[in-house]
Amino acid sequence: MKELLLPSFFLSLIGFFNIFGIRQSLAINQIFNISAGFLAFFISKKIKRIFFAVNAQFFYWLLVIFLVVTFVIGLEIKGSKRWIDLYLFNFQASEIFKAFFILSLSEFLVRDYRFVNKIKIFLLSLFYFLIPAFIIFKQPDLGNAAVYLFIYLMLIIFSDLPKKYVLYFFLFLFLTLPLGWYFMKDYQRGRIISFLNPQIDQQGASYNMVQAIITVGSGQVTGRGLGLGTQSRLYFLPENHTDFAYSSLVEQFGFLGGLVVIFLYFVIALFLIKKLLLFYFLKDPRDKKNFLYLVGFLSYFIFQVLVNIGMNLGIFPITGIALPFISYGGSSLVAVMIGIALIP
């Protein structure tokens, strides 16, 4: 497991220095967040993975309840209810839920269904996906809803369910995609429009994306130096410690610093792929569950890294997805570390 802990620690350290350079007032909080993440890892390892696997359905429904509570009484920030204020810290159930969503669905998809209609299994799995995805979408949090969608699709594709169901689901998504436009908030539609045409409103909907690209470019090869990033420190770049933490990092540490971060992500992904392939060739049902869990966790991890870095570079629309270990916040860090602890 040290193959994952070492790059995770170095990424967390880089994330801390990045935040220290742009907002010193949050640096102490980030130390607490990092400590909470690694503490969650060691506690989860101590409890043992088998406990979480056996009780996967319990944790699934418990966190669904937390999602509902968040939607009803959650702390509203910039029009979104994504957090529960627990006084000492804000709890984001949609982040913590990810590892348990993957675990519960991977356990569900590898049961003995010899006497059960396969379409029923697929519809039940779709039901398990739609419950959290719908609540998260309504918070509204389109980015995290997309993460759950991607995880679900990868799990279904690599499960033993007939692939025609996946085709039907993609067809359904394609046909209902235009309807989704009308359920989006105005700012969400604005982000997509600004991505397609950044020149349309550079002081409005396109502002964040344009500033992120400028911030990345200003770092050049070696960066401006710790605490010397003008775009970030002078707040030309909004959300410089969360959504656009990678842009702030590249401004301070340059192309080389950004490359080191990508390399560490690659090391983690490579370990997960090697582990995944190991379980792929084993036939025991438990091994199949482990394989699906690794598929889900790798999908979750890679999707968030690619989409976040992509939106910082103007390649993807702005979605509000956290960059693992680098973005400020405790829930995201704790979620990733619990996910790592549950790796078989």
- State the residue for tokens 């982040």: 95
Q: What is the DSSP string of 78-103?
A: TTEEEEEE-SSSEE-HHHHHHHHHHH
Domain ranges across the chain = 2-341
User: Per DSSP, what are the bridge partners of residue 81?
Assistant: 76
pLDDT at 197: 52
Minimum mean pLDDT among 12-26, 115-129, 176-190, 196-210: which range? Answer: 196-210
- pTM comes to 0.90
3-state secondary structure of 241: coil
* Cβ–Cβ < 8 Å for 101, 148: yes
pLDDT at 294: 97
* Cβ–Cβ < 8 Å for 153, 108: no
- On average, the pLDDT of the chain sits at 85
Residue pLDDT, tens place only, 40-85: 999 999 999 999 999 999 999 999 999 999 888 877 776 677 878 7
Does the structure show a pLDDT above 70 at 335? yes
* 159 Ramachandran zone, left/alpha/beta (phi>0; psi -120 to 50): beta
Does the structure show a pLDDT above 90 at 153? yes
Given pLDDT bands bounded at 50, 70 and 90, which one contains residue 204? very low
pLDDT at 318: 77
Given pLDDT bands bounded at 50, 70 and 90, which one contains residue 187? low
